[in-house]
Structure 1
Amino acid sequence: MSEGGWLAQALPLLLLALLAGRAADDAQSLQLSALLQLAGSVLLLLSVACCKIGVWRAASRQAQHAGACATTWALRVLVLAGGLAFGLAFAERHGGARTFEMGQIALGQDPVAVVDARISADGRSLLLSGTLGAGSADKVHELLANAPGVRLVRLQSAGGRLFEAESIAADIRQRRLNTYVDGLCASACTMVLLAGRQRGAAPAARIGFHRPSFAGVDDDRAVDADALMRYYRNAGMARAFIDKVRATPSHTMWFPPRKELERHRVLTPALLAGGLLASR
């Protein structure tokens, strides 16, 4: 194949990679998003490889016709240097641990467990406990669709996937439900809490915040960090509060005192006196 053929193949592959990335952002399930992200990464690698091969072949053809010269060697050095730089950057962003975990999610084997969700006996509360693994949002959506009397979502979760938390939060906002923390609500669970029209917590409840993380990805480069901070900002949190969350590494947890949670309207005390906890 000529160098022009290699380059001609690279363009549609690059376009497909960009489309896969865009589709992954709009995917309705975490599993589909993971599949599309992996497909986009493969297509991106192939498109870059085609470009590099095309330039290398062009340099080789130049050397055959005009003999090796400084320009020919310069092109080859640029191809090698560019390929190495891209490879290192790609490995840093799509490292082995991250790719492995994305593969598990794509295959329906998320290492983070699906949330335990059930409707209370009186049909007024949805009880969520455990982690928010892939498939949690679908489970919650189905339960809510068959329980029109639900008015309160009770939370006991250490967090999980932001994708699932955001999808659950969207259902809560759409139905204008209230949220209440029974024990622990940390990390991604806070997105679900903040979706409540009114938000309360038991006296001994703990609500924790930190930067998001993903296997093999450093906190500072976590692709969901900016999205999570925007979510908090749109929920009405003050910049100082959000900056404290961003400054908290993913391997630790910041548990603000209750007065601060109420001052920043993470909790809305009206729920505590609203008589909505009778379904306990």
Structure 2
Amino acid sequence: MIRFISVLSAVFLATTATAQDDADIAAKFTVAGETLIYDTENLSDAEIETDDIDHLLKLLRGNESIKTVELNSGGGSIYAGIEMARIIIDFELDTLVNGECASSCVRMFLGGYNRQMTLGSKIGFHQAQWSPGNIQGYYEDWAENEGWDTPFDFASWLYEDTQREFHEDLTYMIDRGVDAAFAAKAKGTPNADMWYPTRTELTLARVLRLQE
């Protein structure tokens, strides 16, 4: 009987945790007419996460009237930013920054057809970062699978992967119409810093653009 109660308690706690996680994800999104607001700053310790990808897609599929994605986020998962940008591009949506859009949020913003920013808002650029702890964890999890016999094998792969990722990011910015010199400066900003260009700089570099 005690074991049965313990199992029920575990199931209840897991279900409760999942429900809370789903609620936290949903709280980042608000549909307001033709605008889908994505705001990670209205929750404590929230950021762009992989679970947000499916929720974005679900909302867009269920609301065909949505034309614009309004963004307010300091960033988060690089992968999530890439995938959510792909979805924004596929749905041919406009993007609008209302507050701040920095780090991986910029990837999403650049997915917009028309891209605007409310007065007083800002867009921040810097290089990606991978912490020593996360690098160690990745090596330990994938060494056997990838055939990395030593940390030096992993370091060689990491060197190549970093260059590939840098090139892909730079190419993406240019493909989305951003001036090449501006893109190079953005990708050269150290992770510890954050470059917030002026509205004039963003407009001249075609980060902000109005095509209609």
TM-score range, shorter chain: 0.5 to 0.7
1:140 equivalent in structure 2: 56
Distance in 2 (alpha carbons) for counterparts of 1:240 and 1:231: 14
**Residue in structure 1 matching 2:209, options 268, 273, 276:** 268
Distance in 1 (alpha carbons) for counterparts of 2:166 and 2:83: 17
Distance in 1 (alpha carbons) for counterparts of 2:95 and 2:113: 7
The AA in structure 1 aligned to 2:200 is K
Q: Does 1:198 align with 2:110?
A: no
Q: Give the C-alpha shift of residue 241 in structure 1.
A: 0.8
* SS of corresponding position for 1:127: strand
1:128 equivalent in structure 2: 38
Q: Does 1:182 align with 2:98?
A: yes
Q: Structure 2: which 5+ runs fail to align?
A: 1-17, 19-23, 41-46, 136-157
Which structure has the larger Rg over C-alpha atoms? 1
**Where does structure 1 differ by over 3 angstroms across 4 or more consecutive aligned residues?**
none
Q: Give the C-alpha shift of residue 270 in structure 1.
A: 5.8
1:76 equivalent in structure 2: none
Alignment of 1:209-248 (within 5 A): 209-216=125-132, 223=162, 224-248=165-189
Q: Give the C-alpha shift of residue 225 in structure 1.
A: 2.8
Alignment of 1:85-96 (within 5 A): none
* SS of corresponding position for 1:156: strand
1:252 equivalent in structure 2: 193
Distance in 2 (alpha carbons) for counterparts of 1:183 and 1:256: 14
Q: Structure 1: which 5+ runs fail to align?
A: 1-107, 272-280
Q: Does 1:117 align with 2:29?
A: yes
Judge conservation of contact 1:114–1:134 (CA < 8 Å) in 2: no
What TM-score results when the alignment is normalised by the length of structure 1? 0.52
1:167 equivalent in structure 2: 83
Q: Give the C-alpha shift of residue 197 in structure 1.
A: 0.8
**Residue in structure 1 matching 2:73, options 153, 157, 171:** 157
* SS of corresponding position for 1:172: helix
Cα 1:139–1:158 change in 2 (3 A) is same
Q: Give the C-alpha shift of residue 265 in structure 1.
A: 1.1
| Equivalent residue pairs, number | 157
Q: Give the C-alpha shift of residue 114 in structure 1.
A: 5.0
* SS of corresponding position for 2:200: helix
The AA in structure 2 aligned to 1:142 is K
Judge conservation of contact 2:127–2:189 (CA < 8 Å) in 1: yes
Q: Give the C-alpha shift of residue 176 in structure 1.
A: 1.1
CA-based RMSD of the aligned residues comes to 2.4
Distance in 1 (alpha carbons) for counterparts of 2:85 and 2:114: 13
Q: Give the C-alpha shift of residue 269 in structure 1.
A: 4.4
Tell which has more relative contact order, 1 or 2 (C-alpha 8 A, sep 6+): 2
* SS of corresponding position for 1:200: strand
Q: Give the C-alpha shift of residue 226 in structure 1.
A: 2.9
Distance in 1 (alpha carbons) for counterparts of 2:76 and 2:203: 24
Q: Give the C-alpha shift of residue 139 in structure 1.
A: 1.1
Distance in 2 (alpha carbons) for counterparts of 1:258 and 1:247: 20
Q: Give the C-alpha shift of residue 243 in structure 1.
A: 1.8
- Superposed CA offset, 1:78-100 (max 9, x none): xxxxxxxxxxxxxxxxxxxxxxx
